Amino acid sequence: MNFETLMAFFGRHPMLSLALAGLTVAIVYTEVARLFRGYKALKPAGLTTLVNQENALVVDLSAIGDFEKGHIPGSRNLIPSQFDPQGKLLAARKQSPVVLVCRNGMASATAARKLKKAGFEQVYWLDGGTAAWDAAGLPLVKGRA
């Protein structure tokens, strides 16, 4: 394919060309925003490393029933309605690594944004949540922590 063929395609299909341009802009924007958001996504192996090497606090934002069905060993449970960056569990950890976890990774990403705005320096969230942890073949603990 050469440049002339590509330009002819764009001329014949203006809506497809516009859609492609829009998607390209959206992807670039999303990736640039991800680089500057201040908190990082972790895969299960990265979480294991962070806990073992830097004694990260793992906060599970699952409902109590879900937490009792299975959670990451050593994690602490805070339901989203009790999540407070200035609360007893988190306030003393502003300079330490804090990893937020939920069932699928959505609530933890939102909470990570709150922690970063509250001045926490090392904020992470488990991409894919405990479902990703379980899918990686890593152990889950049942019952209360």
Tell me the pLDDT band of 145, cut-offs 50, 70 and 90. Answer: low
> How far apart (Å, rounded) are the C-alpha atoms in residues 39 and 98?
10
Q: Kindly state whether residue 140 falls inside one of the protein's structural domains.
A: no
Tell me the angle at which helices 14-36 and 3-12 cross, rounded to the nearest 10 degrees: 110
Q: What percent of the chain has pLDDT over 90?
A: 56
**Do residues 48 and 69 share a domain?**
yes
> Is the alpha carbon torsion for 63, 108, 120, 49 positive or negative?
positive
pLDDT value at position 34? Answer: 65
Q: Is 127 helix (H, G, I), strand (E, B) or coil?
A: coil
Q: Kindly state whether residue 71 falls inside one of the protein's structural domains.
A: yes
**Do residues 20 and 86 share a domain?**
no
**Do residues 87 and 108 share a domain?**
yes
Query: Mean pLDDT across the chain, nearest whole number?
Result: 89
pLDDT digits (tens, 9 = 90+) for 8-30: 888 999 999 899 989 999 988 87
pLDDT value at position 32? Answer: 77
pLDDT value at position 142? Answer: 93
The total number of residues shown for the chain amounts to: 145
pLDDT digits (tens, 9 = 90+) for 70-100: 999 999 999 888 888 998 889 889 999 999 9
The pTM for the full model equals 0.75
Compare 144 and 43 and report the one with higher pLDDT: 43
- Please give the C-alpha separations between residue 98 and each of 17, 20, 92, in angstroms, as whole numbers: 43, 38, 11
- Main-chain dihedrals φ then ψ at residue 128, nearest 5 degrees: 95, -5
**Do residues 124 and 62 share a domain?**
yes
pLDDT digits (tens, 9 = 90+) for 101-114: 998 878 888 899 89
Q: Kindly state whether residue 15 falls inside one of the protein's structural domains.
A: yes
